[in-house]
């Protein structure tokens, strides 16, 4: 592999890592200022980095086309940088927009977070760069602040109107725990998530499907939720209590009702999931996950035949619960399985995919791991 020294002619100052994530429950609730419960994965984006004082941002990705992208920090503007290099450039731009007078850097990026699998490889990339810059420029920003900068980078520079969950999971995840995040005030609590001692595993099924128009569809859903909140005269759908759901639905046009029903019931599922984990009953999560899938499939309508099949096949093979994870329109599903049934469940999902003529799914076990950190 090409070394930092070969690429840039000097040694890096250090190396930073930031993980991808899977979300256990709480989907499409973050931009409604509700609750989510993701875990950080062992797979990370790593950034070896050195500060430059000439205003140049030089970027190389081990997964890229073998070329160094070179940009002038002062000229960065939304819409000017295409492809993967847009994410690191976006973070540098967003830091400057937030009033941090950062300059250039040399960055060598390497990743084992699968891209396009719904595991937040882009948030991991943003958070690795944000963490490196935080140290290289002595910004002293807290993990939550860096997550918000990364989200701003994606919203305003890359142009994807995502919520804050993926960046918060990548920045703030902790080994052996799930991250209970309140997306309104960004308060977090690390909830015990020790599957091994409960004899359980979390299987991640990458369906290898990516649907076109996903970005437009995501933005449309978000706009629908914001319209519903405005019609209800509320700051966000988070402010509809479960007991207020039926009256709220009665005040909305038919097309917005399923969106609101999903968000309100999904926030309740997060509450229930956290209570189960706090009570030391991770197996109890199973039905909560499966109910979450039904809501995403039938109300929010972000599932697709491949994720539905992954969920059905896992459940028929004895999984305690299963659901699509992440924004949807393809990507990955998760299944909660007993350790002894994990291989059988994976084989059953792969066989169902073969029978349906779908591509071979990716199958890995998710272990709740540490968030962004300096590694050297």
User: Binding string to ligand GLA for residues 10 to 49, with x set by CB under 6 A, is what?
Assistant: -----------------xx-xx------------------
User: Binding string to ligand GLA for residues 89 to 128, with x set by CB under 6 A, is what?
Assistant: ----------------------------------------
Tell me the three state secondary structure of residue 310.
Answer: helix
- Contact window for ligand GLA (CB under 6 A) among 76-84, 160-168, 249-257, 280-288: 160-168
Q: Is the dihedral of CA 109, 112, 116, 119 positive or negative?
A: negative
Output the smallest distance, CB 123 to ligand GLA, in A.
Answer: 7
Judged by beta carbon, residue 163 or residue 286, the one nearer ligand GLA is 163
Judged by beta carbon, residue 326 or residue 361, the one nearer ligand GLA is 326
Output the smallest distance, CB 21 to ligand GLA, in A.
Answer: 9
- The distance from CA 162 to its chain's CA centroid, rounded to whole angstroms, is 9
Place of tokens 């978000």: 222
Output the smallest distance, CB 145 to ligand GLA, in A.
Answer: 17
The closest alpha carbon to 31, from 184, 257, 228, belongs to: 184
Collect contacts of 149-153 with beta carbons under 8 A, ≥24 apart: 149/91, 149/94, 149/95, 149/98, 150/91, 150/94, 150/123, 150/126, 152/94, 152/97, 152/98, 153/87, 153/90, 153/91, 153/93, 153/94, 153/126
Output the smallest distance, CB 148 to ligand GLA, in A.
Answer: 12
- Contact window for ligand GLA (CB under 6 A) among 48-56, 78-86, 159-167, 170-178: 159-167
Cα(44)–Cα(151) distance, integer angstroms: 18
162 binds ligand GLA (CB under 6 A): yes
- Contact window for ligand GLA (CB under 6 A) among 44-52, 126-134, 158-166, 286-294: 158-166
Tell me the three state secondary structure of residue 162.
Answer: coil
Cα(253)–Cα(176) distance, integer angstroms: 43
How many residues are recorded in the chain? 376
Judged by beta carbon, residue 88 or residue 327, the one nearer ligand GLA is 327
Residues 277-336 that bind ligand GLA (CB under 6 A): 326-327
172 binds ligand GLA (CB under 6 A): no
166 is catalytic: yes
Question: Are 11 and 248 within 8 A, CB to CB?
Answer: no
Judged by beta carbon, residue 28 or residue 50, the one nearer ligand GLA is 28
C-alpha distances in angstroms, 255 versus 218, 247, 250? 16, 16, 12
Q: Is the dihedral of CA 248, 249, 251, 256 positive or negative?
A: positive
The closest alpha carbon to 135, from 304, 222, 17, 37, belongs to: 17
Cα(161)–Cα(35) distance, integer angstroms: 18
- Contact window for ligand GLA (CB under 6 A) among 161-169, 187-195, 312-320, 364-372: 161-169
Which among 30, 65, 106, 166 is annotated as catalytic?
A: 166
Binding residues with ligand GLA: total (CB under 6 A)? 10
Of 126, 166, 206, 306, the residue at the interface with ligand GLA (CB under 6 A) is 166
Output the smallest distance, CB 292 to ligand GLA, in A.
Answer: 11
Residues 6 or more apart whose Cβ sits within 8 Å of residue 152: 94, 97, 98
Judged by beta carbon, residue 31 or residue 87, the one nearer ligand GLA is 31
Of 103, 163, 286, 330, the residue at the interface with ligand GLA (CB under 6 A) is 163
87 binds ligand GLA (CB under 6 A): no
User: Please, what's the b/e burial string for 23-37 (b: 16 or more CB within 10 A of its CB; e: otherwise)?
Assistant: bbbbbbbbbbbbbbb
Judged by beta carbon, residue 177 or residue 325, the one nearer ligand GLA is 325
Judged by beta carbon, residue 332 or residue 345, the one nearer ligand GLA is 332
Output the smallest distance, CB 54 to ligand GLA, in A.
Answer: 34
Residues 6 or more apart whose Cβ sits within 8 Å of residue 64: 84
Catalytic (active-site) positions: 166
Q: Under the rule (CB under 6 A), what is the footprint of ligand GLA?
A: 27-28, 30-31, 162-163, 165-166, 326-327
């Amino acid at each position: 592999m090409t070394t930092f020294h070969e690429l840039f002619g000097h040694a890096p100052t250090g190396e930073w890592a930031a993980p991808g994530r899977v979300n256990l429950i709480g989907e499409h609730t973050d931009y409604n200022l509700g609750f989510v419960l993701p875990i950080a994965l062992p797979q990370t984006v790593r950034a070896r980095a050195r500060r430059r004082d000439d205003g140049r941002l030089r970027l190389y990705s081990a997964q890229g086309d073998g070329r160094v992208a070179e940009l002038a920090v002062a000229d960065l503007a939304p819409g000017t940088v295409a492809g993967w290099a847009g994410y690191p450039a976006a973070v540098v731009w967003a830091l400057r927009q937030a009033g941090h007078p950062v300059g250039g850097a040399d960055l060598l990026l390497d990743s084992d977070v699968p891209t396009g699998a719904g595991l937040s490889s882009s948030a991991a990339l943003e958070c690795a760069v944000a963490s490196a810059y935080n140290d290289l420029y002595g910004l002293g920003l807290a993990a939550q602040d860096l997550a918000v900068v990364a989200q701003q980078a994606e919203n305003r520079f890359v142009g994807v109107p995502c919520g804050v969950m993926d960046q918060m999971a990548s920045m703030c995840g902790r080994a052996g725990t799930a991250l209970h995040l309140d997306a309104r005030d960004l308060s977090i609590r690390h909830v015990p998530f020790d599957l091994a001692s409960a004899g359980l595993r979390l299987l991640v099924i990458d369906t290898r499907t990516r649907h076109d128009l996903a970005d437009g569809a995501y933005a449309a859903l978000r706009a629908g939720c914001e319209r519903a909140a405005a019609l209800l005269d509320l700051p966000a759908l988070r402010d509809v209590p479960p007991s207020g759901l039926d009256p709220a639905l009665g005040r909305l046009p038919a097309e917005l009702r399923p969106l609101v029903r999903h968000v309100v019931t999904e926030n309740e599922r997060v509450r229930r999931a956290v209570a189960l984990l706090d009570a030391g009953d991770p197996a109890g999560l199973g039905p909560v996950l499966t109910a979450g899938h039904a809501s995403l499939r039938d109300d929010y309508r972000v599932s697709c035949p491949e994720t539905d099949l992954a969920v059905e096949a896992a459940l028929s093979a004895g999984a305690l619960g299963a659901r699509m994870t992440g924004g949807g329109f393809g990507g990955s599903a998760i299944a909660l399985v007993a350790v002894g049934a994990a291989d059988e469940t994976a084989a059953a999902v792969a066989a169902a995919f073969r029978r349906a003529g779908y591509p071979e799914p990716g199958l890995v076990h998710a272990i709740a791991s540490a968030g962004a950190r300096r590694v050297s």
